[in-house]
Amino acid sequence: GEICYCLAKMGFNGGEYIYGRDMSPKVDGFPYFHMKAFLTHPFSVMRHFCGDITHVQAFVNQAGFRKSAGDVMLSINSIHVKFASGAAGYLLSQRGDAHYGLGGWWSIEVGGTRGTFCIENCIEKITYWPAPKPGEQAGLEAIEPEVTNTGIKDFNETFARRINAFLEDITNKVPKEQLRGSGRDALAVLEYTWAVMESYENGGAVVRPNPLPLVKGDPRVY
């Protein structure tokens, strides 16, 4: 099928009643701390499912209680993207200014012409809605989905999986341009993150991230 859209959310749950200004010298006084700390991961997941991002537009803010406390962190990031395929994308990331609702603190939904899936709370649950088959009526009611619930809610459970995937590739001598989680993949999401900052600094202008260098070998391999 063809990917139509991608919706992603990631951040911390919170609100004004439990807010406490982070006075760490690594955090306090840096407006872009949240962007640099948090956007690369959801961008990486979006790119994994939907391919390279070619256009970025960001609208950025913070809750009033942060402003009152003198906290300069730009903690609410609303980001529109366009993928190379033409698919539309959206990423919402916030750092405890509010409590996330549906999908939890980490969720991604990818919709395509043959079905849609949604991952909730990182790896806790995945739901798949198949597209209507020939002769079926779409209607306004959702098609009965297929649900897989792992019961895993601890984000730390993901680290071993990611590290093992990288070590498997190294052990199996996978070509560098095909490594899972390669340096090129990291560069891509850093370019997207810097494009967010550039868009914000230019009043929400559409920004094209810097193109990635060609990989060694077949340039069609991403």
Q: What is the pLDDT of residues 131-143, one digit of tens each?
A: 988 888 777 776 8
Q: Domain span at residue 148?
A: 3-152+187-201
125 falls within a domain: yes
206 falls within a domain: no
What CATH code is carried by the domain that includes residue 36? 3.30.360.10
40 falls within a domain: yes
Predicted local confidence at residue 36, as pLDDT: 98
Give the confidence band of 58 by pLDDT, cuts at 50, 70, 90: very high
137 falls within a domain: yes
60 falls within a domain: yes
pTM, two decimal places: 0.91
Overall number of domains in the chain: 1
The full DSSP string for the chain is --EEEEEEEEEE---TTT------TTTTT-TTHHHHHHSHHHHHHHHHHH--EEEEEEEEE--HHHHHTT-----EEEEEEEETTS-EEEEEEEESSS---TTTTEEEEEEETTEEEEEETTTTEEEEEEPPPTT----SSPPPPEEEE-----TTHHHHHHHHHHHHHHHTT--GGG-TT-HHHHHHHHHHHHHHHHHHHTTS--BPPPPPPPPSS-TT--
Q: Is the pLDDT of residue 216 over 80?
A: no
165 falls within a domain: no
177 falls within a domain: no
112 falls within a domain: yes
Q: Is the pLDDT of residue 8 over 80?
A: yes
Q: What is the pLDDT of residues 141-197, one digit of tens each?
A: 768 899 999 989 888 888 898 899 989 999 999 988 788 888 899 999 999 999 999
